[in-house]
Structure 1
């Protein structure tokens, strides 16, 4: 009986030692950290600049009766501009961002204006414009947003002084005017940390925009009297402007990437 008890005691002691050895040998494995996310909800301001091209479908009409005198022809131009604006974004469903914004542009995008019947030509400058719209984006990465936008736009075009085809003054002009329209576009916005720059809250965005302004009749006026010129003509034209801009953005709420809470 004593031999059996001694044998059982020895087996139990060996088993306990082996179990203790096994427990001591197991390596410690740290739980994986939660994936980093960024918070895009909040206000932002931006400013930048870029370049653009302009296209206009033009025709000549009689001032009296608005009788078409020529077929519609397309004229174009190009130039530069600066922009400033502000907005607010909401991040939802993890990787989607929606927002509202407003901005203004100022600069010099010039387009050709011609009256082939009278043999006169001039330049019309888009001096400033503004836009208010919405945008919807998807986070390609926690700190990179790809988006599309659209909304309402208004623009002011400066006056035009006509010259002959040889470059001589004609004494005829078009007054400056305002136009209303709409725009669509899209772009990419990213935190500057993507370039290895430590700049919390600072972003860069590059955006394409296409703005369309409705057609308007402009009467050719005499420079001295500011009354309808002897030509008796109106220029009817719309305007289509395409721009590409790069802006520096500051987001007031930016603290990311931050650790997601579980």
Structure 2
């Protein structure tokens, strides 16, 4: 009996030692980390440039009675512009971002103005405009935002000097004027941390915008010399489409943040 008891004790001791050795040999495994999360909430500023198309539905009306004298015809134009602005975004869940913004555009988008009754033609220049609106975006990736926007807009159109069909002076012009309207658009904004280049806070956005300004009637003004035989009024609206690319700086952006345990 004593020999059997001694043998069982030895086996138990050897088994416990082996179990302790197995426990000591197990590798250490870190707790799982949370996925990277980028925060879009905060202020930003931007500046860029682009090109645009101008369309205008025009008709000739009587200066004295306002009676239409011609059917409505569409005239077009094109040009370039620069833009600067600022805004604030709020990321309200993992995939949606909403914000407010304001910007200004300045440049030279020129359209044609004509009076076929008097054989007059001229160029109208959209000199500058401004916009204030809201945008709603969906995060395609943590650092890529696809968005739509819309809001209120105002624009200043420069004066127009008319020439005849031969290109000579006519003694008539249209004064410059301001118009208010609305716009809708959309675009994509993405971080510039690409191809292994680190650019914290810097983004690029490309945006399409369509702005519409209601019709306004303007009288043809007689210059001091070369007086014409008669004058009319021109009634026209303005529809401008633009595409721009801007460099954006976000003040709060530090890149994706990894939560720690």
Q: Normalised by the shorter chain, which TM-score bucket?
A: over 0.9
Measured in 2, the distance between the counterparts of 1:14 and 1:230 equals 122
| Counterpart position of 2:250 | 251
Deviations 1:123-142 (A, max 9, x none): 10000000000011111111
| 1:37 match: secondary structure | coil
2:30 partner SS: coil
For residues 41-94 of structure 1, what are the alpha-carbon distances to aligned partners after superposition, in whole Å with 9 as ceiling and x for unaligned? 111111111100011111111111111111111110000000011111111112
Name the counterpart of 1:157. Answer: 157
Whole-angstrom distance in 2 between the partners of 1:73 and 1:197: 52
Asked if structure 2 preserves the Cα contact closer than 8 Å seen for 1:64 and 1:232, the reply is no
CA distance in 1, matches of 2:244, 2:213: 19
Task: Quote the residue 1:66 is aligned against.
Answer: 66
2:231 aligned partner: 232
Query: Which ranges of structure 1 fall in alignment gaps of 5 or more residues?
Result: none
Distance 1:195 1:154 in 2: 40
1:182, distance to aligned residue in structure 2 (A): 0.3
Q: Distance in 2 between matches of 1:22 and 1:60?
A: 96
- Whether 1:206 and 2:206 are equivalent positions in the alignment is yes
Alignment of 1:27 with 2:27, yes or no, is yes
Structure-1 residue corresponding to 2:189: 189
Alpha-carbon separation, structure 2, partners of 1:212 and 1:194: 37
- CA shift at 1:31, angstroms? 2.5
Unaligned runs of 5+ in 2: none
Deviation (angstroms), 1:25: 3.6
Deviations 1:79-115 (A, max 9, x none): 0000011111111112211110100000000001111
The TM-score with structure 2 as length reference comes to: 0.94
- Alpha carbon RMSD of aligned pairs, Å? 1.7
Task: Give, in whole Å, the separation in 2 of the partners of 1:116 and 1:153.
Answer: 31
Paired with 1:14 and 1:163, the residues of 2 have a C-alpha distance of 111
Structure 1 range deviating more: 18-27 or 107-116: 18-27
**1:141 and 2:141 matched:** yes
CA distance in structure 1 between the aligned counterparts of 2:193 and 2:202, rounded to whole angstroms? 8
Q: CA deviation at 1:6?
A: 1.9
SS in structure 1 of the partner of residue 139 of structure 2: strand
Change (3 A) 1:59 1:195: farther
Count residues in correspondence.
Answer: 260
Give 3-state SS (helix, strand or coil) of 2:104's partner.
Answer: strand
**Preserved contact between residue 220 and residue 231 of structure 1 (Cα < 8 Å):** no
Partner of 1:218: 218
